[in-house]
């Protein structure tokens, strides 16, 4: 497990240009930040949304490089640059058998469906809302055995596949799934080719949760959700070998590790 580490790091001087980072700068991490209101920030050239109160967030992908360039232009026009050291991680190899042939070798019709669905997901993740729900605590969407972890390299039916970018929690079909944090639903699909029932919940500033392999989706795009809201039920649709929830998170295009934002699973 990777509980969120709290470390306030003063990067810049003088104090009028101070910038604070909260979190563990490592592959898969979300790092919260606070800058002077009105500052402009980029990370390796990627524009970072800064709220009116100076709050912002950074995300580091599974395979993020060993360093990242953070550039801050203060309200008075002064420019400050800082090289962040990104700690590496080791990832597990998982072998998954029993995936249906139609999933492993989709037909031309299925490929058209996959392209349509990829466009829907891409559009949902392009949203950059000013809301700051990402800054509050996250909670597990459900409790159960963890059967898959972020970053693991999966071998499907003996064939190496893409890394796994989420955390899998096993539970019976129909188990209620709640939102891991407040947000706005930007995608609600009943049965996508690879991910089955799929929800994307936007938490602001490019941070989103994706809930996959759902049996039932209980909310619609445009709905506001808050902690305690039941948004779906566990299923085994799409590329799945049994009933479970696959919870993934993004910061823009960077895929980050949900387990770094929640405490250890109480029942695990």
Specify the CATH number for the domain of residue 20. Answer: 2.60.40
121 and 60 belong to one structural domain:
no
Q: Quick one: pLDDT band at residue 220, thresholds 50, 70, 90?
A: very high
How many CB atoms within 10 Å of residue 213? Answer: 25
- pLDDT for 102: 54
CATH of the domain at 217: 2.70.70.10
| Whole-angstrom distance, CA of residue 189 vs CA of residue 197 | 6
Residue 267 lies in a domain: no
What is the average pLDDT value for the chain, to the nearest integer?
87
191 and 159 belong to one structural domain:
yes
13 and 128 belong to one structural domain:
no
Q: Which residue would you say has higher pLDDT here, 184 or 117?
A: 184
Residue 266 lies in a domain: no
Torsion of CA 249, 104, 163, 127, to 10 degrees: -30
Residue tagged 């992908």 (tokens): 61
Residue 248 lies in a domain: yes
Q: Quick one: pLDDT band at residue 119, thresholds 50, 70, 90?
A: confident
Q: Which residue would you say has higher pLDDT here, 153 or 150?
A: 150
- E strand or H helix that includes residue 110: helix 108-125
137 and 198 belong to one structural domain:
yes
- pLDDT for 6: 37
pLDDT digits (tens, 9 = 90+) for 17-35: 578 999 999 999 999 999 9
Nearest to 80 by CA among 26, 37, 39, 30: 39
Which token pair is 216? 């039932």
Q: Quick one: pLDDT band at residue 108, thresholds 50, 70, 90?
A: confident
In the chain, % helix, strand, coil (3-state, to 5) comes to 10, 40, 45
Using alpha carbons, list the distances in angstroms from residue 1 to 119, 121, 181, 263.
32, 28, 19, 8
Number of domains observed in the structure of the chain: 2
Residue 174 lies in a domain: yes
- pLDDT for 158: 66
Strand pairing of 93-96 and 153-156?
Answer: parallel
pLDDT digits (tens, 9 = 90+) for 194-204: 899 999 999 99
Contact partners, residue 118, CB within 8 Å, separation at least 6:
none
111 and 151 belong to one structural domain:
yes
Residue 117 lies in a domain: yes
| pLDDT at position 9 over 70 | no
Window from 107-111, 162-166, 219-223, 258-262 with minimum mean pLDDT = 107-111
56 and 164 belong to one structural domain:
no
Residue 252 lies in a domain: yes
- pLDDT for 175: 98
> Of 85, 115, 147, which residue sits at a domain end?
85
Helices (H), 58-107: 101-104
Which token pair is 154? 């999966």
| Whole-angstrom distance, CA of residue 199 vs CA of residue 185 | 7
Q: Report the predicted TM-score, pTM, of the whole model to 2 decimal places.
A: 0.84
Window from 11-15, 142-146, 185-189 with minimum mean pLDDT = 11-15
Domain that residue 159 falls in: 93-261
| pLDDT at position 39 over 50 | yes
What letter would DSSP give residue 17? Answer: G
Which token pair is 12? 């810049």
| Whole-angstrom distance, CA of residue 11 vs CA of residue 224 | 36
| pLDDT at position 118 over 90 | no
| pLDDT at position 268 over 90 | no
Q: Quick one: pLDDT band at residue 161, thresholds 50, 70, 90?
A: confident
What letter would DSSP give residue 60? Answer: -
- pLDDT for 107: 80
Residue 2 lies in a domain: no
> Of 85, 119, 138, which residue sits at a domain end?
85
């Amino acid at each position: 497990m990777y509980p969120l580490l709290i470390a306030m790091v003063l990067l810049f001087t003088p104090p009028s240009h101070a910038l604070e980072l909260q979190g563990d700068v490592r592959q898969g991490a979300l790092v919260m930040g606070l800058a002077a209101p009105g500052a402009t920030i980029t990370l390796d050239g990627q524009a970072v949304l800064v709220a009116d109160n100076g709050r912002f967030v950074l995300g580091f992908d599974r395979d993020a490089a060993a360093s990242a360039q953070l550039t801050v232009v203060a309200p008075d026009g002064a420019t400050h640059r800082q090289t962040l050291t990104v700690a590496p991680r080791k990832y597990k190899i998982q072998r998954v058998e029993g995936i249906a042939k139609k999933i492993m070798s989709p037909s031309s019709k299925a490929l058209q469906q996959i392209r349509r669905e990829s466009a829907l997901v891409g559009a949902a993740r392009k949203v950059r809302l000013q809301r700051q729900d990402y800054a509050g605590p996250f909670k597990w969407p459900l409790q159960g055995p963890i059967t898959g972890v972020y970053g693991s390299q999966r071998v499907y039916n003996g064939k190496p596949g893409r890394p796994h970018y989420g955390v899998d929690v096993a539970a019976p079909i129909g188990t209620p799934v709640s939102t891991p944090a407040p947000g706005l639903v930007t995608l609600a699909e009943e049965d996508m080719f690879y991910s089955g029932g799929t929800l994307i919940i936007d938490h602001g500033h490019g941070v989103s949760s994706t809930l996959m392999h759902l049996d039932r989706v209980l909310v619609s795009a445009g709905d506001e959700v808050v902690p305690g809201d039941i948004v779906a039920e566990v299923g085994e649709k799409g590329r799945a070998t049994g009933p479970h929830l696959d919870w993934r998170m993004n910061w823009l295009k960077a895929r980050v590790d949900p387990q770094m934002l929640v405490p250890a699973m109480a029942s695990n």
